[in-house]
Amino acid sequence: MKIVMVGAGYVGLVSGACFADFGHEVVCIDKQESKIAALKRGEIPIFEPGLSELVRSNAAAGRLSFTTDLVGPVSKADAVFIAVGTPSRRGDGFADLSYVYAATREIAQALSRYTVIVTKSTVPVGTGDEVERIIRELRPDAEFAVVSNPEFLREGAAIEDFKRPDRIVIGAEDERARQMMAEVYRPLYLNSAPILNTSRRTAELTKYAANAFLATKITFINEMADLCEQVGANVQDVARGMGLDNRIGSKFLHAGPGYGGSCFPKDTLALIKTAQDYGTPARIVETVAAVNDQRKRAMGRKVIAACGGAVRGKTIAVLGLTFKPNTDDMRDAPSIAIVTALQDAGATVRAFDPEGMEQAKATLPAGVVYCSDAYECVTGADAAVIVTEWNIFRALDLDRVKETMAAPLLIDLRNVYRPDQVRAKGFTYLDVGRGTQAPEAGTKTAAA
Ligand SMILES: NC(=O)c1ccc[n+]([C@@H]2O[C@H](COP(=O)([O-])OP(=O)(O)OC[C@H]3O[C@@H](n4cnc5c(N)ncnc54)[C@H](O)[C@@H]3O)[C@@H](O)[C@H]2O)c1
Q: Is 375 in the pocket of ligand 1 (CB under 6 A)?
A: no
Q: For 330-340, how does the pLDDT look when each residue is reduced to its tens digit (9 = 90+)? A: 999 999 999 99
For residue 150, give the ligand 1 atom closest to its CA: 7
Instruction: Provide the pLDDT for residue 392.
Output: 97
Question: Does the beta carbon of 31 lie inside 6 Å of ligand 1?
Answer: yes
- Could you tell me the CA-to-CA distances from 6 to 13, 85, 197 in Å, in that order? 9, 10, 23
Between 231-240, 339-348, 411-420, 428-437, the lowest mean confidence (pLDDT) is in 428-437
What is the tens place of the pLDDT at every residue in 89-110?
Answer: 988 989 999 999 999 999 999 9
- Structure confidence at residue 428 (pLDDT): 98
Question: Tell me, what's the pLDDT at 444?
Answer: 38
Strand residues in 161-287 grouped as ranges (E)? 168-171, 195-198
* 62-98 confidence digits (pLDDT tens): 999 999 999 999 999 999 999 999 999 988 989 999 9
Atom 27 of ligand 1: nearest residue by CA position:
84
- Which of the four pLDDT bands, split at 50, 70 and 90, describes residue 445? very low
pLDDT on residue 437: 65
CA of 416 from ligand 1 middle (Å) equals: 31
* Range 97-106, long-range pairs (CB < 8 A, 24+ positions): 97/123, 97/124, 97/127, 97/130, 99/7, 100/127, 100/131, 101/130, 101/131, 101/134, 103/6, 103/7, 104/131, 104/134, 104/135, 105/134, 105/138, 106/6, 106/70, 106/71, 106/74
Q: How much is the pLDDT for 192?
A: 79
CA of residue 428 to ligand 1 center, whole Å? 42
Reply yes or no on whether the pLDDT at 297 is more than 80: yes
Q: In sequence order, what DSSP letters do the residues of 366-383 get, joined into one string? A: TT-EE-SSHHHHHTT-SE
Query: What separation in Å is there between the alpha carbon of 9 and the centre of ligand 1?
Result: 5
- Mean pLDDT, rounded, for 266-270: 97
Amino acid (one-letter) located at 365? P
Closest to 191 (Cα-Cα) out of 170, 160, 151, 158: 160
For residue 443, give Cα distances in angstroms to 35, 73, 189, 306, 440: 50, 65, 59, 10, 6
Q: What is the DSSP letter of 228?
A: H
pLDDT at 440 over 60: no
Confidence of residue 7 (pLDDT cuts 50, 70, 90): very high
Which ligand 1 atom is at minimum distance from the Cα of 35? 39
Closest-lying ligand 1 atom to the alpha carbon of residue 84: 24
Average pLDDT taken over every residue of the chain: 95
Q: What are phi and psi of 311, to 5 degrees?
A: -125, 10
Which pLDDT score, from 0 to 100, does residue 438 have?
52
The answer on pLDDT for 360 being more than 70 is yes
What is the mean pLDDT of the segment spanning 337-349? 98
What CA–CA distance (Å, rounded) separates 393 from 417?
9
Active site residues: 263
Average pLDDT over residues 225-236: 97
Report the predicted TM-score, pTM, of the whole model to 2 decimal places: 0.95
413: which DSSP letter?
T
Q: State the average pLDDT over residues 122-131.
A: 98
Spatial contact of 8 and 16, defined as CB atoms under 8 Å apart: yes
CA-proximal residue: ligand 1, atom 39 (nearest)? 9
